[in-house]
Amino acid sequence: MDRYAQDLARWMPRLVAVWRRSRKLPEGPPTLTAKEVREVASAIRTLSLGLTRERSLAGGRYMDDPRLLGAYLLFYWPVSYAQGRQVLGELRTRPRRVLDLGSGPGPLAFAALDAGAAEVTAADRSRPALALARELAAEAGEALATREWDPQRTGELPASGLDAVVVGHLLNELFGKGEPALGRRAALVERALAALRPAGSLVLIEPALRDTSRELLQLRDVLVRRGFAVRAPCLFRGDCPALVKSSDWCHAERVFSMPPLLEELARVAGLHKEALKMSYLVLAPKGEPWPEPPPGRTFRIVSEALEGKGRQRYMGCGPEGRMGLALQEKHRTAANAAFFQLSRGDVVELTETEPRGDGLALTERSAVRVVAAAGRSVSSPLSHTERVDVGAPVTGR
């Protein structure tokens, strides 16, 4: 079990204990009865439909409904926590002072604390969600500040002088749809960026759904045009090439060892057991430069393996833009064999490529080097003293 999974495993009994208390149930073991599993699974189905498929709950007060808040705590909290650990693990420096906006019961706030933050504030408009975050902090013996905050009512942020602002699955719920929503989200994100100290990071995580991902990419383009640099995952500095075709989008994927309770809840709720999928963006404060791209011809792999007849293909996105990358099996050599085992998110350096169709073909003269495996920082490594302990490689590669 990798480091993030071990930390999450420690949270699971705390989540169950706080869930029992919030539902006014007697104390019990760190597992659920079959009846409790069925009840929670039914609320998970409601959340899943309302937040991902029909989207009827997005922007609603579902966190104030004890049944739905309980299901969020037991099922979505661990997923958001795991996403937060992954993205925070990609930062070059360990953030000390962190603000979690739209925190709900605080999965990203606690991910930041576990990643080494010392001072974390969780902010949300839902009082019951913040109360659960405080209960979790007490259960874990962690210090967590909470603030009631609603950006649709106030332009003020609840803290400043921050090393990181984390915003998980909030933006898609704010300000409605279309151009006016995009403008108001961009204004909020600019305020969050202005609350950062130099070298700080704004971390945005959104669901890996086509529409919410594309909205995040549109927001990226607005901010890039206003002069903000992207720390991750983009290597391309122009307008996002995934927005050119309306069928394209971009998301990340990481291996996820689901805690057993999550597996059981997913099975009973009838949801697919999946890898950890999300769309994310890490932005730098105004005036900070883009990270230097790795030397050589580099691409981030932004698709799954697209196998064709006798060849392996991926979509890559690098300093030159987004394009197809392909290698025929008959051209496999020791120097390019790594191409056949790439994962979404890996950053690779390629040599001796030839233009072919919409992209590049590798040849028997090509070499393929993984510059950074998915989830690892591409920019220069941390010095020993500032290294973030990311544990064993999540992908095991």
What does the binding site for ligand SAM look like in residue numbers (CB under 6 A)? 59, 63, 76, 80, 102-104, 107-108, 124-126, 129, 149-152, 168-170, 173-174
Closest CB to ligand SAM among residues 149, 299: 149
CB atoms within 10 A of CB 322: 22
Closest CB to ligand SAM among residues 12, 108: 108
User: Which residue in the block uniquely carries the two structure tokens 């991910």?
Assistant: 111
Closest CB to ligand SAM among residues 95, 107: 107
Of 381, 336, 344, nearest in space to 362 by CA: 336
φ/ψ of 173, rounded to 5, equals -95, -5
Q: How far is the CB of 378 from ligand SAM (least distance, A)?
A: 24
Q: How far is the CB of 24 from ligand SAM (least distance, A)?
A: 22
Q: How far is the CB of 117 from ligand SAM (least distance, A)?
A: 15
Of 165, 200, 234, nearest in space to 94 by CA: 200
Could you give the CA distance from residue 11 to residue 254 in angstroms, rounded to a whole number?
20
Of 205, 257, 261, nearest in space to 15 by CA: 261
Closest CB to ligand SAM among residues 107, 316: 107
Q: How far is the CB of 203 from ligand SAM (least distance, A)?
A: 11
Q: How far is the CB of 385 from ligand SAM (least distance, A)?
A: 30
Closest CB to ligand SAM among residues 80, 377: 80
DSSP-derived pairing of the beta strands 196-206 and 276-283 = antiparallel
Closest CB to ligand SAM among residues 172, 312: 172
Could you give the CA distance from residue 12 to residue 262 in angstroms, rounded to a whole number?
9
Q: How far is the CB of 108 from ligand SAM (least distance, A)?
A: 5
Q: How far is the CB of 131 from ligand SAM (least distance, A)?
A: 12
Closest CB to ligand SAM among residues 55, 332: 55
Closest CB to ligand SAM among residues 11, 339: 11
State which residue has the least CB distance to ligand SAM: 168
Identify how many contiguous H helices and E strands the chain contains and give both numbers: 9, 16
Beta strand segments in the chain, E:
97-101, 119-124, 145-148, 162-168, 196-206, 230-232, 252-254, 276-283, 297-301, 306-308, 311-318, 321-328, 347-350, 353-356, 359-362, 368-372
Closest CB to ligand SAM among residues 78, 318: 78
Q: How far is the CB of 88 from ligand SAM (least distance, A)?
A: 13
Segment (H or E) for 224: helix 210-225
| CA dist 366 → 84, 103, 128, 328, 357 (Å) | 36, 46, 57, 11, 18
Of 171, 303, 282, 167, nearest in space to 228 by CA: 282
Q: How far is the CB of 61 from ligand SAM (least distance, A)?
A: 7
| CA dist 308 → 173, 277, 311, 329 (Å) | 39, 24, 5, 10
